[in-house]
A = this chain, B = another copy of it.
Amino acid sequence: MTKPGAKPYLTTRNIEPENQETPIHFLRSDTIDYPYFYKRNHFPYPALTALHYFLPIIGLVDSPVLFSLRDIMNMPSKTIKAVLECSGNKRNLFEPKVFGEQWEKGAISQGTWKGVSLKTLLAASGIREEAAEVVIEGHDFGERKDLDNVYAYARSLPLNKALHPDTIIAYEYNGRPIPFKHGYPLRLIVPGWYAMASVKWIKQITFIDSKFAGPFQTIDYVYYPNKTNDEQAFPVTGIHVNSTIQKPLNMEILNTGTNVIKGIAWTGKGRITRVGISFDKGETWVDTELKNEHNAEYQWVSWSFTWFVTEKGEYTIMTRAADSCRRVQPMTPFWNRKGYGYNAIDTIKVKVE
């Protein structure tokens, strides 16, 4: 008999709606396949089939268009490998704690999306001059705790981001149709932005002449720096430069000798250029080895550091990523009331026995 092995599972944060984390500490691949792709929902899953699916592009366009899935798949395609990171990733690490899903470090995933640039689709509809934003609405909807009406999940993009050639309407993930729970049949993918922008189960695309005021645009996914008022609030957009130590685990007990420390680093702007590691609480830093040094935009970098340790005791290990836009992880997170965009230097403790 062969010894049975073990596999990691998604970490369950909630069931209704389904919110589950990628077991990021136990995965080493640069592509996260469906079973390990974190799930983040605001509402129950929509009842939706591809049978009669059409995508309308409406509002301030020259001529409204209704695309079939076949229309879209027949257009020139674009394939992008990208990190998707929930803006609440690492929310659990804020001090003082903030309310909401207590995501640890696994509300992040990476894979390859194939679709059509939104810009390509818009060649058919045109955009009127008055258009200021584009609203992407999903088929998912439901009640919110803070409001009385029923709302669909909907988000807007400014035109420059919507027309960026890497903003795509995707129909495949890792070479297969998008899994239903991740947005089948069509999902918007906005590489470089936190994943609230990458609307699932797209229902319609609408051009408007004003700032979109839906609750997922103006209440949620907003940084509120103050606990008791909404002053100085500003919207959540691009992914912050960040890193996560995957191995060892926090509070793990290690042997003396050689221990390989591994992790990932990512950013929403430019490329990761360095990942430093510190064993003295940030006094001094040494570079880790980047696995894919000439890493592509939007993708995480795997890094490793071979740590030779002879002295028993407790150690604090920190990692700090920097990107080509000169952004560096801060020592202290930017606390905000809803707990978005945590990207402080990653810190774990280990004991060497």
Contacts and interface: CB of A to CB of B under 8 A. Distances in A.
Contact of A4 (B13, B45, B49, B145): B45
A350 B255 CA distance: 40
Nearest to A46: B3
Contacts of A26: 12, 15
A351 to B, nearest CB: 4
B45 A145 contact: no
Contacts of A25: 12
A9 B9 contact: yes
B10 A9 contact: yes
B8 A47 contact: no
Contact of A1 (B15, B48, B98, B255): B48
Interface string A251-266: 1111100000000000
Copy number of this protein in the oligomer? 2
A181 interface: yes
A326 interface: no
A42 interface: no
A251 B99 contact: yes
Contact of A252 (B18, B99, B254): B99
A309 to B, nearest CB: 13
Interface in A8-63: 8-18, 20, 23, 25-26, 39, 44-49
A234 interface: no
A139 to B, nearest CB: 11
A14 B249 contact: yes
Given A146-B353, A255-B145, A8 B4 contact: no
A6 B250 CA distance: 29
Is chain A's binding surface mostly helix, strand, loop or mixed?
loop
Contacts of A7: 15
Nearest to A256: B145
B254 A145 contact: yes
Contacts of A307: none
Contact of A2 (B47, B99, B350): B47
A16 B26 CA distance: 10
Contact of A20 (B9, B14, B180, B253): B9
A102 B15 contact: no
A11 B9 contact: yes
Contacts of A102: 249-251
Interface in A232-273: 249-255
B255 A3 contact: no
A15 B11 contact: no
A97 interface: yes
Nearest to A181: B4
Contact of A9 (B12, B145, B146): B12
9 contacts: A1-B47, A6-B20, A6-B39, A9-B9, A99-B251, A99-B252, A99-B253, A99-B314, A145-B353
Interface of A: 1-18, 20, 23, 25-26, 39, 44-49, 97-100, 102, 145-146, 180-181, 249-255, 314, 349-351, 353
- In order of increasing CB-CB distance, the 9 nearest A-B pairs are A6-B18, A9-B9, A8-B12, A99-B351, A3-B45, A146-B353, A145-B353, A6-B15, A11-B11
